[in-house]
Structures are given as C-alpha cells and as structure tokens.
Amino acid sequence: MSRMKSVSPTSTPTPISRRRGRFVERDRKAEELLLELSRTTNCAERERLTDEIVRLHLDLCDGVAARYAGRSIPTEDLVQVARLALVVAIKRYQPGPGSSFIGYALPTISGELKRHFRDHGWMVRPPRRLQELGPVLRLAREHWEQEHGTSPTTQDLAEEVGVDPEQVSECLSAEHSYHPLSLDLTFGDDESRSLAESLAEPQDELESAADRVSLGTALSSLSQKDRELLQMRFVDGMTQKEIGLALGVSQMQVSRLVRAVLDRLRTQMGVTVDDDRSATAA
C-alpha cells in the first residue's frame, strides 16, 4: 500500500488561509490604531490615525456597496456613502476587551446605504409604509421559496407577513419605482420597435381629450332645449338672426340665451374666462 503523504507544518498556505490571515492582521492593526485614536487629543494625530484606519477598510466599504449595485443609484455614489459611514463608525466606536470594529462598522455601513436608498433611490417615492414593507416582503419571499420550492402568490405573502393582500400588491408595484424602464427598450419578435416609438405624441386630439370628456359631462346636464340651441348655433352654423326666426324670438334674445347656456357650461367645467362674447356674435 502506498503511504499517504504527510503535510508538514511549513507547507505553503492556501489562498483562503492567506486571505484569512491578512484579515486577522488587518483587524489587529485596526484595533491598535483605534485604541490609540481614543487616547489622543491632538487634532493632527487624530486625523492621521483616522486616515490610516479608513485606508485599511476601503475594500470593506467597496464590498458592501457592491451588494447594492444596480438598483437605480450609481455605484460611485454608493461607495461614497459607504466610506462616509465608515468614518462615522470610526468616530463612534469604543475599543475595549471583547469589542470588534468590523462587527460595529458593518451594520453602520449597511444602515447608511439602506437609508440612502430610502431617501434618494426612488424615481417616484411611494409612501413610507410601502418602503418599509418592501424588505419584509423580500425576506418572506426568500423564506417561502426555500421552504416550498415555488414562488409565493400575493395571498401567500400577505398571510406570511400578516398584512392585507392589497398592501402587498401596492408594495410589489412600487418596487418598479426603483427601476424605471428605458425609452430605448425594444420589444416585439424582432425587437425593432422601441418603447419611445410606442408612446403617443402630444397632438391636439390628445391634449384636448380631457376637455372633451368634461364638456360631454357638462352637456348632459343641460336641458333638451338648451342642447338644441347650441346645436343650431355651433354645429349647424346658423346665425343669431336665423335662430331667432326659427324660434320666434328676437336676435337679442337669442344672444342672451346662448350666453346663459355657455355660462352654465363653463361653471360645470370649472372654467374661468374673460367676459368675451365673441363666440355668440352673429
């Protein structure tokens, strides 16, 4: 039988063990610097120590920031937020037996990044209750998928978290506020058409659509006699004189009748206009 090779204590360490050893050495060095920082009152010395501690942990900041990349905020901004949070952690940390700066700094950095997303990450900011419900739903979804092997329905998530299904639907819809669709996004079988090309152009017909709907509602509130009067004046194009002959009234009476009907329409539509009666002129 071939003998198993023995590994001597002086064997070359693996990449993982080398990396772990580097982290241990960094943590030991950081604790020494932090202890020294807590004991000195010299401003220049405090600044030098802080800079050295920051340099030791730049890779930590970049790594935590990378976890939040691709969520509507540039990575460079996230890195900056993470590094500023590191400085805050350095100022607040109290070194001592049993304490760990990494254990203190990581939650501080993550918390600042989450706060930054809450305040600046939304293209359209939803209510605070939906912002706070989002992370809870994501954890619930992960737990459900691990336990059941399927994606949960809205009802499943609502029961898991203990909220109304409508709130879950609202929250899931609000998540799209983080990732707005690009107007250059293509779709279709050949992906030859962009989202921008499918949007309606600002034309007169579209711009006046709301006014037409409002006018239709206002017209329905008029009497049949008033609608017939407007029909003769503005659809059939009859003059006030012709309308007067058809109704058996004077031209002046026709003018007053049309003016009164138009005033009622404006009131119904909530329109404020000048006392311009040119529309009723013959």
The reported pLDDT for the residue numbered 276 is 44
Look at 257 and 135; give whichever has higher pLDDT: 257
The span from the CA of 188 to the CA of 201, in Å, is: 20
CA separation, residue 58 to residues 44, 134, 274 (Å):
21, 29, 66
What pTM does this model have?
0.43
> CB within 8 A of 281, min separation 6: which ones?
240
Phi and psi dihedrals of 194, rounded to 5? Answer: -90, 165
The span from the CA of 253 to the CA of 101, in Å, is: 90
For 137-163, write each residue's pLDDT tens digit: 888 888 888 888 888 888 888 888 888
For 77-136, write each residue's pLDDT tens digit: 889 999 999 999 999 998 877 778 888 898 899 888 888 876 666 555 666 777 678 778
User: Are 280 and 256 within 8 A, CB to CB?
Assistant: no
The span from the CA of 53 to the CA of 195, in Å, is: 49
**Out of 82-86, 218-222, 239-243, least confident range:** 218-222
Q: Ranked by mean pLDDT, which of 20-29, 108-117, 121-130, 229-238 comes out on top?
A: 229-238
For residue 79, what are its two tokens? 């890195």
The reported pLDDT for the residue numbered 7 is 44
- For residues 265, 269, 273, 277, the Cα torsion angle rounded to the nearest 10 degrees is -20
> CB within 8 A of 38, min separation 6: which ones?
94, 95
The reported pLDDT for the residue numbered 2 is 43
Instruction: Express as a percent the part of the chain with pLDDT over 70.
Output: 69
**Is the backbone of residue 162 left (phi > 0), alpha (psi -120 to 50) or beta?**
left
Which pLDDT band holds residue 281 (cuts at 50, 70, 90)? Answer: very low
pLDDT at 225 over 60: yes
